[in-house]
Amino acid sequence: MISKCGERRIWHWAHRGERHCDHWWEPETEWHRAWKDKFPAEWQEIVHRADNGEKHIADVKTAQGTVIEFQHSYLRPEERRSREAFYKPMIWIVDGLRRKRDKQSFDKTHCHIVRLAPLTLRMPTKHCSLLREWIDCPVPVFFDFGLTQEDLASFGTPILWRLSPKSADDIAFVSPVPLEKFIDAVRKDGPIQGISRAIPRSRPVPPTSGFVRYLARKDQRRARF
């Protein structure tokens, strides 16, 4: 018991409490809430206890036990690794619009098609801070750049960009994944499938923004015949 002898409340005895604070917690944004509401309420804000008594609250934990963490603010590498070791298995959803330069640098990064099914692009990380910050992550990472007209023109649907855990330090492998298919796969515990396209493998594609415009033009030409 602990004596409580303050000036505002009557003196009393209180039980010694456990550690209730989650030092992994960050202020919740509208972006956080919108993402959590894509999943059942019973999957949201799931409490876990560490061996030392600390409480950690997963943003979403599916019925099959996969934790999904929605990350808006900058995350120190050591904290990220701690969460990955604690929550197994897990997925990161990263807000790609927190810094304006992240979307711009991602779009301007030159890329090459390395696979068609699913469509996979090879991108150097040298000029993209967002990719460098997450490149060594051993679990799936999905960048959310919001709804863009280029995505709609090229893919016909909102997408996420998946960063492959097999990426190297200076080269990232990314794939577009339809948002609705991602949510459906998580809900049903199925495979998260990307987009497959029939594009000549030999053709290198300059920046990601140019790449999606190229796909849009190709679809328009196909629609004429």
Question: Would you say residue 14 has pLDDT above 80?
Answer: no
pTM listed for this prediction? 0.79
Percent of the chain with pLDDT over 70: 76
CA distance 92 to 72: 11
Specify whether the CB–CB gap between 122 and 197 falls below 8 A. no
Specify whether the CB–CB gap between 158 and 151 falls below 8 A. yes
Rounded to whole angstroms, what are the CA distances from 129 to 31, 100, 105, 106, 210? Answer: 21, 11, 8, 9, 20
What are the DSSP calls for 129-149, one per residue?
HHHHHHTT-SS-EEEE----H
pLDDT of 51 reads 80
Specify whether the CB–CB gap between 74 and 40 falls below 8 A. no
Question: Would you say residue 9 has pLDDT above 80?
Answer: no
Question: Would you say residue 4 has pLDDT above 50?
Answer: no
pLDDT tens, 135-188?
A: 999 999 999 999 888 888 888 899 999 999 877 779 999 999 999 999 999 999
- Averaged over 51-69, what is the pLDDT? 90
Mean pLDDT for the chain overall: 82
- Averaged over 197-215, what is the pLDDT? 56
Domain borders along the chain are 23-223
pLDDT tens, 91-141?
A: 999 999 999 899 999 988 888 999 888 999 999 999 999 999 999 999 999
CA distance 171 to 130: 13
pLDDT tens, 23-43?
A: 555 678 899 999 999 999 999
Question: Would you say residue 200 has pLDDT above 80?
Answer: no
Question: Would you say residue 206 has pLDDT above 90?
Answer: no
Specify whether the CB–CB gap between 83 and 69 falls below 8 A. yes
- Other C-beta atoms closer than 10 Å to the C-beta of 29 total 14
